[in-house]
Structure 1
Amino acid sequence: MTIRTVTEKDAAELLDIYRPYVENTAITFEYNVPSVEEFAERIRLISANYPYIAAVENGEIQGYAYAGVFKGRAAYDWSVEVTVYVKKGLHRKGIGAKLYAALEKLLAAQHITNLYACVAYPEKEDEYLTFNSVKFHEKMGYTIVGTFHRCAFKFNRCYHMVWLEKILTKTDTAPQPVIPFSQLDKALINKIVLE
């Protein structure tokens, strides 16, 4: 399995991974599957500033991960929200962990210090949502820092949402300026994703 950056040409394949999460789970609170064109636009916008990567085996994308804006104010530039999706049937094979490991290295190269994951959380597990995503993030070193109770409604039931946090670099002084992903050295990117 290799990790590589994603392009807009990957939109249809990534959307095939994402679609079942929209249609059959409360892992995402999106109700409608976006079009390929909309998904390609999301990739384009995110990739300008943050890593958007995929795990590939035998020419097929097995999962993907990316970072995005945490909050839109300049003071938050060193914090990002992270997301990962793995193709149905391929969970617990280390794909998500490998994607997050590469994502963290790329974000550190950009001088990002704080990572946040917004994760759907059930009162009790059901056919649409389990505790697996939170357990995965905790295994990856994230800690729950906040809970929004019964804030989302999907499949005729209410769900909680939790924020999890991982600190990449602790600093009490002004961190180095963030390098937009599109300006990060390509050789460095290739070295990190191929490690």
Structure 2
Amino acid sequence: MPFLLRDATLSDLPAIAEIYRDSVLNGVASYEIIPPSEAEMTTRFCANTSSGYPYIAAVDQNGALLGYAYASAFRTRPAYRWMVEDSIYLAPAARGLGIGRALLTALISRCTQLGFRQMVAVIGGAHPASIALHRALGFEETGLLKGSGYKHGRWLDTMIMQRPLGDGKDSDPDPSVYPGTLFEV
């Protein structure tokens, strides 16, 4: 299936909200139980993008949203400002077609260009396909939170994976490169 990656826009929010809704109701990637409204998803999108984090959409030839990925602050304490957390969600029909890999590859590249030094994946349900995708793109397992969520009538584990970006921890970051406004130093 041919697709294009581009920056997500406000006009993508109805489709983003629907993809996320399906993941909340039917999956374990998110530990939310009740899908947020489109208005709430818009608030989250605006907060994230206005803080300098990338938000990428995958669309088909007709412009229909197939999936999206974004980076966000892993934690809001200032010393964490060089680490981002990735999130990837795909429409059910878009799974298993390489779209998630393309989104994550682009997200890694964008975050590296922006000067971030680490990317962490917090994988709900320790989902095997997500773990395999992250491993294939250079992430290493750094922890497993056992029984950390309860959803769909069962306890779920959460896998933590991490990947260095750029020089990672091998050199000091350049404060002038960091574009985000979330942190004040």
Q: TM-score, normalised by structure 2?
A: 0.88
What is the Cα-based RMSD across aligned positions, in Å?
1.6
Q: Which moved more, 1:94-103 or 1:111-120?
A: 94-103
Give deviations 1:121-158, integer Å, cap 9, x for gaps. Answer: 35xxxxxxx52111121122211101111111111211
1:109 paired residue number = 113
Distance 1:121 1:141 in 2: 20
Q: CA deviation at 1:104?
A: 1.3
Residue 146 of structure 2 is aligned with which of 146, 149, 171? Answer: 149
Q: CA deviation at 1:181?
A: 5.9
Distance 1:61 1:153 in 2: 30
Q: CA deviation at 1:25?
A: 1.5
Residue 33 of structure 2 is aligned with which of 4, 25, 31? Answer: 31
Residue 71 of structure 1 is aligned with which of 54, 61, 75? Answer: 75
1:121 aligns with 2:125: yes
Query: Is this contact kept in 2: 1:79–1:113, CA < 8 A?
Result: yes
Query: Is this contact kept in 2: 1:51–1:181, CA < 8 A?
Result: no
1:5 paired residue number = 7
The alignment covers a number of residue pairs equal to 175
- 1:1-195 mapped onto 2 (5 Å cutoff): 1-48=3-50, 49-57=52-60, 58-121=62-125, 130-169=127-166, 170-177=168-175, 178-180=177-179
Distance 1:83 1:89 in 2: 18
Distance 1:131 1:106 in 2: 25
Distance 1:118 1:171 in 2: 20
**3-state DSSP of counterpart to 2:147:** strand
Distance 1:172 1:101 in 2: 22
Distance 2:4 2:136 in 1: 22
The answer for unaligned runs of 5 or more in structure 1 is 123-129, 183-195
Q: Which amino acid letter does the alignment assign opposite residue 151 of structure 1?
A: S
Please list every run of at least 4 consecutive aligned residues from structure 1 whose deviation after the TM superposition is greater than 4 angstroms: none
The answer for unaligned runs of 5 or more in structure 2 is none
